[in-house]
Amino acid sequence: MIRFDDVSITYDGRTTPVLEHVDLHLREGELVLVVGRTGSGKSSLLQAINGLVPHFTGGTLSGRVLVDGRDTRTHPPRELADVVGVVPQDPASSFVADTVEEELAFGMECLGLPNDVMRRRVEETLDLLGLHELRSRPLLTLSAGQQQRVAIGAVLAAHPRVLVLDEPTSALDPSAAEEILAALQRLVHDLGITVVMAEHRLERVVQYADRIIIVPGDAQPVAIGTPQEMMRLAPIAPPVVELARAAGWHPLPLTVRDARRAAGPLRELLVGQPPPLRAVAPDGAGETLVQATDLSVRYGTRWALRGVSLSVGRGEVVALMGRNGAGKSTLLNAMVGLRTAASGSVMTHDHDPASLKGSELLQSVGLVPQQPGDLLEATSVADECRAADRDASVTPGTTRALLALLAPEILDGVHPRDLSEGQRLLLALAVVLAPRPPLLLLDEPTRGLDYPTKLRLVDALRDLARGGHGILLATHDVELAAEVATRVIVLADGEVVADGPTADVVVASPMFAPQVAKVLAPFPWLTVSDVITTIGPLILRTHAPISGDAVG
């Protein structure tokens, strides 16, 4: 179905190809997962499948890409649209209609399908992706996760033979992500569609893949194989695989179910062992940086928040979790004065955030939104950093130094729009951190980030908390919450339904529990590093890995 023959891709201004001598054959009716570091070339590989590379993104493509027998060098994207459907990292960038139903129908209209066929497929897609209640909603009023489902639905409705997805679950809550992945699996198994997806949250998708492509970057060879083969060798892996590697389990489990079968001896070692402490309170801990009191916000007649009361203090890292559309982004926006309360109040650093302007606002609270590109206006990374220094009235070079810590691979001369989604997020984070606001708000901060980059972000957040900053991050990334959060707040339909220490909240939740907690339940260990810290010395004294013979 898809063939890469000795394909290399080089962009203007780069001295080395982003991909070099790639040979791949992807078969009909298989789900292929593309794995690699942020900026390694995964998106370029995906874009080559429907001709966006080189017809729209620029650069030079050598070799040949064939899709259902069509050469992408001579068939631009419009001539592949009936075969290949593409869902980009930023779903809103692909929208052309006003409402959900119109967006689902648009692609089919372009293909000239009859009205009765379009009507039937729209209904099928609404049901398949749980969008029925949103059918008449304007796209701009949807949460990012809801927009992601609409973008996937708009492509699926046209019934392509090949479906290409770039970070399809990055903005979805765990339940919605499972629904999307289950729907994709049905398309592969029942309809023979070939699905190619890039995804950093491997814990969600690796068990669904028939094969995995590893794109290491730096023009190193691209590798392909079964999930078992690739996960044993891959430099990045989901927590369940990292736990299996540390424990020496064979065969390597890829699912929580198989890992639980192997984890009996590991759970025995944990009996009577206290879990490691989550955080150390910094100087000034206890000072409240933001306080919401009976806060309600609405959009027209729809209530986004209803009677929310919570606070975040110095030294806290609080994860705000909940389903798509639960009100997480609305709450963060209210804390910087972007949303007005219908009733109740929110005080940020003892001020109404709506009354703070300019540098006073920047030095009180910083928000990195779901679309970090909204904060970026310059034509190069270097200019963006210089502008941030001026706006924040800080020493020249401050923002660039922060960026070097977060993402040393980002070069000064690159245009922000040419960065990957994850790299744009890290640049926006450096811009927001430059004035050192005591309160930092992050909306889906790991969207588009690979595991090593996410670990750098975790280290940065811990350092900020130790330095007395308060951090509130809205996230669907349960593994991030497990790594860094000292407390978890869960929103549902605009109301707080849980608020407590991380382990207390997530271990009891099937939706928000991280993989390690599911494997080791009922013990309150959340991460691989927690386990290694606790029992590593015990394992080393046995001079042998924990048995994994129970996997089957």
Q: Per-residue pLDDT tens for 194-223?
A: 999 999 889 999 999 999 999 988 778 999
Report whether pLDDT(284) > 70: no
Q: What is the mean pLDDT of residues 5-32?
A: 91
Beta bridge partners of 7: 22
DSSP structure class, residue 413 = T
What local confidence, expressed as pLDDT, does residue 337 receive? 93
pLDDT over 90, % of the chain: 54
What local confidence, expressed as pLDDT, does residue 283 receive? 52
Residue-range domains of the chain with CATH? 2-243 (3.40.50.300), 288-529 (3.40.50.300)
Q: In what order do the strands lie in the sheet with 288-299?
A: 302-313, 288-299, 343-348
Q: Which residues contact 421 (CB under 8 A, 6 or more apart)?
A: 89, 90, 167, 170, 447, 448
- What does the mean pLDDT of the chain come to? 88
Helix ranges, 59-114 (H): 100-110
User: What is the secondary structure of 113-161 as a DSSP string?
Assistant: --HHHHHHHHHHHHHHTT-GGGTTSBGGGS-HHHHHHHHHHHHHTT--S
Helix, strand or coil for residue 549? Answer: coil
Q: Per-residue pLDDT tens for 70-125?
A: 999 999 998 998 899 998 877 777 899 999 999 999 989 988 899 999 999 999 99
Q: In a 10 Å sphere around its CB, with 0-12 CB exposed, 13-18 middle and 19+ buried, how is residue 368 labelled?
A: buried
The structure tokens listed for 215 are 């794109």
User: What's the pTM?
Assistant: 0.85
Report whether pLDDT(495) > 80: yes
Q: Per-residue pLDDT tens for 367-385?
A: 999 888 889 999 999 999 9
Q: How confident is the model at residue 277 (pLDDT cuts 50, 70, 90)?
A: confident
Whole-angstrom distance, CA of residue 451 vs CA of residue 454: 5
What local confidence, expressed as pLDDT, does residue 281 receive? 54
Report whether pLDDT(321) > 50: yes
Q: At what angle do helices 381-392 and 398-406 cross, to 10 degrees?
A: 130
